[in-house]
Amino acid sequence: MDFLINLDGNILLWIQEYIRQDWMEGLWKGITMLGDSGWFWIALSLLLMVPRRTRWIGITSLAAIVIGALITNVTLKNLVARTRPYEVVEGLALLIEKQSDYSFPSGHTCASFAAAGVYWRMLPKKCSIPLLILAAMIAFSRLYVGVHYPTDVLAGLLIGLLAAWAAWHMQKYVRSHRKKAE
């Protein structure tokens, strides 16, 4: 376990030393803000609910975001109670304000991949690929700004995809039973 903890910290220090650039800070801060409280993904899901032909995509992505938030922000963050890396990793500089909750897993990453995972399944690839890239950028931004360990982000990604899978199957079930009832 010590090896993994050290590796997590060393990856963050490597990002800080070799990838961070003054001219990129604004970009990565902006990208990380897209994931704040999942607002971007929630707004996009609500927009998708307006046209009838994409309504189920919006509903399903909102369901995935809620499932992911219940697993990450409500349950795991409080059970694991992992300290944020900027409080532990010596020499790591924080680029945004201190966070008010625990580190593991990344809620930004979870919400991003919960929504993007649904979009991957339900939208044309020309639309879903850019959204998956944005989800990956939001996930990386959490490392870049120094608020998450790589394992936090990896766990958030996996939980987000699991939430997308669950929501997608739930909507298939609901829609098939709705048709039978009609």
Model confidence over 84-120: pLDDT tens digits? 999 999 999 999 999 999 999 999 999 999 999 999 9
The whole-number pLDDT of residue 182 equals: 66
Domain-embedded: residue 30 = no
Stretches in the chain below the pLDDT threshold 50: none
The whole-number pLDDT of residue 5 equals: 84
Structural domain for 148, as ranges: 36-176
Q: 64 and 45 in contact (C-beta within 8 Å)? A: no
Instruction: Give me the chain's average pLDDT, please.
Output: 96
* Pairwise CA distance, residues 112 & 114, whole Å: 6
Domain-embedded: residue 119 = yes
Q: Is the pTM of this model over 0.85?
A: yes
Domain-embedded: residue 47 = yes
The whole-number pLDDT of residue 131 equals: 98
Domain-embedded: residue 75 = yes
Domain-embedded: residue 50 = yes
Number of domains making up the chain: 1
* Pairwise CA distance, residues 48 & 46, whole Å: 5
Q: 88 and 9 in contact (C-beta within 8 Å)? A: yes
Q: Taken in order 160, 125, 135, 5, is the CA torsion positive or negative?
A: positive
- Residue 111's domain is classified under what CATH number? 1.20.144.10
Structure tokens at 117: 């995972």
The whole-number pLDDT of residue 179 equals: 73
Domain-embedded: residue 12 = no
* Pairwise CA distance, residues 175 & 152, whole Å: 34
The type of residue at 31 is I
Q: 68 and 163 in contact (C-beta within 8 Å)? A: yes
What lies within 8 Å, CB to CB, of 104 at 6+ separation is: 76, 77, 80, 82, 149, 151, 152, 155
